[in-house]
Amino acid sequence: MTRLGRACVALFLASGVVVVLIWWAGLDRHTFDTLAGGLNSAGRITALVGTYLILVQLILRTHVPWLVTAFGKDALKTWHTRNAYLAFGLISAHVVLQVVGYAMADRVDIASELGLLVLHYEGMVLGIVGFVLLAALTLLAIDPIRHRLPWPAWRALHLYTYVAIALSVPHEIGTGNDFIDAPLAIAYWTGLELVVLGILVAARVPPVWRAATAAGRPHPAIVAIGALVIATYLVGTVRLSPAPPAELAVASPTPRGTVQPAPSPTAAATRPSPTAHVSTGTAVVVGEGFETPYGTAQVRLILSDGRIADVEPILMPSATKRSKTISSSVEPWLRKRAIAAQSAQFDILSGATYTSRAYQASLDSALRAAGLEQP
């Protein structure tokens, strides 16, 4: 290995360490208090490292002259193959760990959790299509199968790797908790992706363009890739959740921070102090309303023997048609997460960050009003 090769290996390892350190710096240490939280955290780091290796994978077979000089074609081919299997293994581990972790947190079966993820996670449909495509390409890359394919066919299929990665981007941006309120993570990953994109444009675009225009008409592979991207994008952006109600609740909310026992057929309701510990019986606690750029979020907390029995929306952001749609779509998911966590500390949807944060803040204020504030 040349000196340039050793420098590239050192840069690869250092960048991978930075990826892990950024994840660790933004990690909530309490997430390991439960098995579900530990699985979800493990799922995130496998996704991040797997994505990093996929970015490296895109560079390994670009045949950039300086890269060939640094390692040689045979070494690049070997590392490309091994890195492909490792990256796919980590992404597969991410899928399994996250689905199982969220299913445990939501206390539902795997199939139900997959339905929740598809319905309430932005970009999830595209992400699933991208993962299936990546799995198919990895299977075709196994030597006994790969050598049965003609070289032109394999070369055309290999281009779909870029499609699989492109389809995963909306999922990463829309649901990546590691990128919520994390400017350092966003900046670092944006920088990595721009560097890779620059290398790909310089190495791949000229020969692909020449091949596409050599016969005076677009190459079939180019047409197929374009059609797949457009069709999948259109399918993935269709709302699969039920249509939102015509109007969200707009009635004046109950005074903030008050605690109300649930109505009883045998006794008149009494109003405990807003700071009283509600540890027995059933009580209703109204949280404070929190403003977002799209409206107010306020919830009503229903307690049973000091535990969260239910969370009802009083107000949800509804300033625009899209905000109404988002609110109606994510509210059932937020309710389920709150009940499962028995607190206001749970993963949110970055595609609905404002709504989720305000919902959590209102729930937290209700818990504090009931004397059940979380550490």
- How far, in Å, CA of 282 to CA of 122, rounded? 36
- How far, in Å, CA of 303 to CA of 363, rounded? 12
Q: Which two tokens stand for residue 262?
A: 């649930």
More confident residue, 329 or 239: 329
More confident residue, 162 or 92: 92
Global pTM exceeds 0.85: no
Give φ, ψ of 265 to 5 degrees.
Answer: -70, -10
For residues 330-343, average pLDDT: 85
**For residue 78, is pLDDT > 80?**
yes
Confidence of residue 326 (pLDDT cuts 50, 70, 90): confident
The Cα-based distances of 357 to 37, 188, 199 in angstroms read 19, 24, 38
Are both 85 and 232 inside the same structural domain?
yes
By DSSP bridging, strand 290-292 and strand 259-261 are unpaired
For residues 71-100, average pLDDT: 88
- Alpha helix segments (H runs only) across the chain: 3-25, 35-60, 65-71, 73-106, 110-120, 124-140, 143-146, 151-158, 160-175, 183-213, 220-236, 321-341, 353-369
Q: Which two tokens stand for residue 78?
A: 């070997």
- CA 207 and chain centroid, separation: 34
More confident residue, 349 or 255: 349
Are both 36 and 175 inside the same structural domain?
yes
pLDDT at 18: 93
Residue-wise pLDDT tens digits, 117-169: 776 666 677 788 888 888 888 888 787 777 787 877 777 777 777 777 777 76
Residue-wise pLDDT tens digits, 249-272: 333 344 444 444 433 333 333 333
More confident residue, 206 or 94: 94
Indicate whether 33 belongs to any domain.
Answer: yes
Number of domains in the chain: 2
pLDDT at 229: 55
Confidence of residue 86 (pLDDT cuts 50, 70, 90): very high
Are both 141 and 228 inside the same structural domain?
yes
Give φ, ψ of 193 to 5 degrees.
Answer: -70, -35
pLDDT at 89: 92
Residue 317 and residue 354 in contact, taking contact as beta carbons nearer than 8 Å:
yes
The domain that contains 340 carries what CATH number? 3.90.1010.20
Confidence of residue 210 (pLDDT cuts 50, 70, 90): low
Are both 203 and 65 inside the same structural domain?
yes
Helix (H, G, I), strand (E, B) or coil at 130: helix
Burial class (CB in 10 A: 0-12, 13-18, 19+), 144: exposed
Are both 17 and 90 inside the same structural domain?
yes
Helix (H, G, I), strand (E, B) or coil at 179: helix
Confidence of residue 94 (pLDDT cuts 50, 70, 90): very high
Indicate whether 252 belongs to any domain.
Answer: no
- How far, in Å, CA of 55 to CA of 87, rounded? 10
Question: For residue 192, which of 4, 22, 3, 6 has the smallest C-alpha distance?
Answer: 22
Residue 285 and residue 366 in contact, taking contact as beta carbons nearer than 8 Å:
yes
pLDDT at 356: 86
What residues contact residue 79 under an 8 Å CB cut-off, 6+ apart? 60, 71
**For residue 52, is pLDDT > 80?**
yes
Amino acid letter at 44?
R
More confident residue, 15 or 225: 15
For residues 227-233, average pLDDT: 53
Are both 232 and 271 inside the same structural domain?
no
Concatenated DSSP letters of 299-329: EEEEEETTEEEEEEEEE---SSHHHHHHHHH
Indicate whether 197 belongs to any domain.
Answer: yes
Residue 314 and residue 363 in contact, taking contact as beta carbons nearer than 8 Å:
no
- Which domain, by its residues, includes 22? 3-236
pLDDT at 240: 37
- CA 78 and chain centroid, separation: 31
pLDDT at 121: 67
Give φ, ψ of 238 to 5 degrees.
Answer: -70, 135
Residue 259 and residue 274 in contact, taking contact as beta carbons nearer than 8 Å:
yes
Which residue has tokens 């929306």?
313
Are both 268 and 363 inside the same structural domain?
yes
pLDDT at 186: 80
Indicate whether 246 belongs to any domain.
Answer: no
Residue 278 and residue 285 in contact, taking contact as beta carbons nearer than 8 Å:
yes
More confident residue, 315 or 272: 315
Indicate whether 58 belongs to any domain.
Answer: yes
Are both 45 and 169 inside the same structural domain?
yes
Indicate whether 251 belongs to any domain.
Answer: no
Give φ, ψ of 292 to 5 degrees.
Answer: -130, 170
Residue-wise pLDDT tens digits, 3-38: 888 888 899 999 999 999 988 887 776 777 788 888
